[in-house]
Amino acid sequence: MLNELDLDQINLCMEPPGEEPARQYYFMAKCREWVKDFEKKNGRPPSAFIQTFGCQMNAKDSEKLTGILEAAGYRTADSEEADFVLYNTCTVRDNANQRVYGRLGVLNGLKRKNPSMKIALCGCMMQETAAIEKIKTSYRFVDLIFGTHNIYKFAELLYAALEDHGMIIDIWENTDQIVEKLPAKRKFPFKSGVNIMFGCNNFCSYCIVPYVRGRERSRSPKDIIREAEALAADGVVEIMLLGQNVNSYGKNLDEPMSFAGLLKEIEKIEGIKRIRFMTSHPKDLSDELIEVMKHSKKICRHLHLPLQSGSTKILTAMNRKYTKEQYLALAEKIRKEIPDISITTDIIVGFPGETPEDVDHTIDVVKQVEYDNAFTFIYSKRTGTPAAAMENQVPEDVVKEGFDRLLDTVQKTAKKRAAMLQGKTMEALVEEKNEQDPTLMTGRLSNNILVHFKGDDTLLGKLVTVRLEECHGFYYIGTMVEGKN
């Protein structure tokens, strides 16, 4: 997407351009001058380390940030002992914030040893006023802070941080701007996330995301397809379409397009062999989407369909806009239409006012839907959300009891579902070498289950056929039957 020549051709004697992304390429070139200077003085290029907290959106953002750092000439480091350290933060639950504060303490020690080190923070947690105030008073050694809305300005902000001394804070309340055509460095050569929309309009009463990621904005189908085509041309075989609520994709476009319509367009791209997406809100999941998934050769047999609670009373208080019965009917319809699909979910335990009977309803839904996997979370109070102001917060011991009961059920259904694949032969995308046993490779099935099997690095990024032999609860040990592509 970007080559050395492009940056070298930029005339740095001119004022920076006003329009994007030209302005950011100008600042990448400026940073590169700084990097060259650093190399002359130190006999090596500067190193950069990015730590990502949170979801796939953040992982994708970090790939964009890495792309900009590499364009500027930084080398990627694999630890915080680097010249530039960036934490891309999450704030969906308080423990994510606490982890950042804990690691900032460690960074302070490293910066004392290497005073020219630059420390930057970005992402969702930075959109919270309280976090910024705390950093301003207790973590004075941080050099640069920016948020979720101006991430595309990273090159410009980096340059300012390299030039300036003192903390730079650039946080925007909101934006309707989507800047295209900036560089990105993929973690995996053969698979990639693709943003299709940003922000969320749902305001579930426990959730901070709409406040820190702003209102829903869809990217134009043209830009999404152009990116997917470029990725395919660059060897990507699997793409994951990313949005907080992909089912409401396209509603605010000048020429509205449904998510199912977008999927049909992406299906046509040669070279893309697998399509995934994340996350679906049950209230917006259309029959059209089920139909498209059912007939698709490329859309993976996996649907992440957050339940949050199985109690209609709690769902109403959560502002989820569906009942227990509506969710169950939807799950049943999906299982009937696409029998080999795996359904996964997110569940929160301990929402204000939740009783053990409400948890019984959640457990009942888990038993009926038989989730292939479920992420269970303990409710975390997020300042500024409606739920934080609710009076009937649940005592910790009651939450713990409900959480353990739920987890037990979730594990049982997940094991049962996984065991159903025993002896089957399925296609897997080979993603990495197994960490514990280097003679094994790890592949991902269309339904998102992992399988480990004998193989070597030459299989990386390939779609292979594997016989599933030993079920270990959430993963399989298998044997490769044939390699493909």
Q: What whole-number distance in Å separates Cα of residue 260 and Cα of residue 288? A: 6
Residues 6+ positions from 330 with CB-CB distance below 8 Å: 282, 285, 305, 322
Binding mask 83-112 for ligand 5AD (x = CB under 6 A): ---------xx-------------------
Please give the residues from 175 up to 214 whose contact with ligand SF4 meets the rule CB under 6 A: 200, 202-204, 207, 209-210
Please give the residues from 49 up to 108 whose contact with ligand SF4 meets the rule CB under 6 A: none
Q: How far is the CB of 68 from ligand SF4 (least distance, A)?
A: 26
How many Cα atoms are found within 13 Å in the side-chain-facing hemisphere of 169?
15
Q: How far is the CB of 92 from ligand 5AD (least distance, A)?
A: 5
Please give the residues from 332 up to 351 whose contact with ligand 5AD meets the rule CB under 6 A: 346, 348
Is-contact 453 439, C-beta < 8 A? no
Q: What whole-number distance in Å separates Cα of residue 235 and Cα of residue 76? A: 22
Binding mask 268-297 for ligand SF4 (x = CB under 6 A): -------------x----------------
Give kind and range of the element (H or E) at residue 104: helix 94-113
Q: How far is the CB of 463 from ligand SF4 (least distance, A)?
A: 31
Q: How far is the CB of 256 from ligand 5AD (least distance, A)?
A: 26
- 188 contacts which partner out of ligand 5AD, ligand SF4, none, CB within 5 to 8 A by kind? none
- 211 contacts which partner out of ligand 5AD, ligand SF4, none, CB within 5 to 8 A by kind? none
Of 57 and 428, the one with the shorter C-beta distance to ligand 5AD is 57
- 202 contacts which partner out of ligand 5AD, ligand SF4, none, CB within 5 to 8 A by kind? ligand SF4
Query: Residue 310's closest CA among 289, 294, 292, 326?
Result: 326
Q: What are phi and psi of 215, to 5 degrees?
A: -75, 160
Query: Residue 72's closest CA among 33, 43, 17?
Result: 33
Measured from the Cβ of residue 377, the count of other Cβ atoms closer than 10 Å reads: 16
- 210 contacts which partner out of ligand 5AD, ligand SF4, none, CB within 5 to 8 A by kind? ligand SF4
Of 57 and 184, the one with the shorter C-beta distance to ligand SF4 is 57
Q: What whole-number distance in Å separates Cα of residue 240 and Cα of residue 195? A: 8
Angle at 364 between CA 359 and CA 369, to 5 degrees: 125
| Strands (E) located in 60-129 | 75-76, 84-89, 118-123
- 45 contacts which partner out of ligand SF4, ligand 5AD, none, CB within 5 to 8 A by kind? none
- Near ligand 5AD by CB under 6 A: residue from 27, 53, 190, 379: 379
Q: How far is the CB of 257 from ligand 5AD (least distance, A)?
A: 25
SS3 375: strand
- 382 contacts which partner out of ligand 5AD, ligand SF4, none, CB within 5 to 8 A by kind? ligand 5AD
Please give the residues from 226 up to 245 whose contact with ligand SF4 meets the rule CB under 6 A: 244-245
Answer yes or no whether residue 366 interacts with ligand 5AD by CB under 6 A.
no
Q: What whole-number distance in Å separates Cα of residue 244 and Cα of residue 228? A: 19
Q: How far is the CB of 110 from ligand 5AD (least distance, A)?
A: 31
- 144 contacts which partner out of ligand SF4, ligand 5AD, none, CB within 5 to 8 A by kind? none
Q: How far is the CB of 214 from ligand SF4 (least distance, A)?
A: 11
Q: How far is the CB of 201 from ligand SF4 (least distance, A)?
A: 8
Q: What whole-number distance in Å separates Cα of residue 316 and Cα of residue 312? A: 6
Q: What whole-number distance in Å separates Cα of residue 56 and Cα of residue 347? A: 18
Q: Structure tokens of 300?
A: 């993976």
- 380 contacts which partner out of ligand SF4, ligand 5AD, none, CB within 5 to 8 A by kind? ligand 5AD
Q: Exposed, middle or buried, 382 (CB in 10 Å: 0-12/13-18/19+)? A: buried
Strand-pair partners of 376? 347
Is-contact 338 293, C-beta < 8 A? yes
Of 21 and 210, the one with the shorter C-beta distance to ligand SF4 is 210
In angstroms, the first-to-last Cα distance of the chain is 25
- Which residues contact ligand SF4 (rule: CB under 6 A)? 200, 202-204, 207, 209-210, 244-245, 281
- Which residues contact ligand 5AD (rule: CB under 6 A)? 92-93, 206-207, 306, 308, 346, 348, 377, 379-380, 382
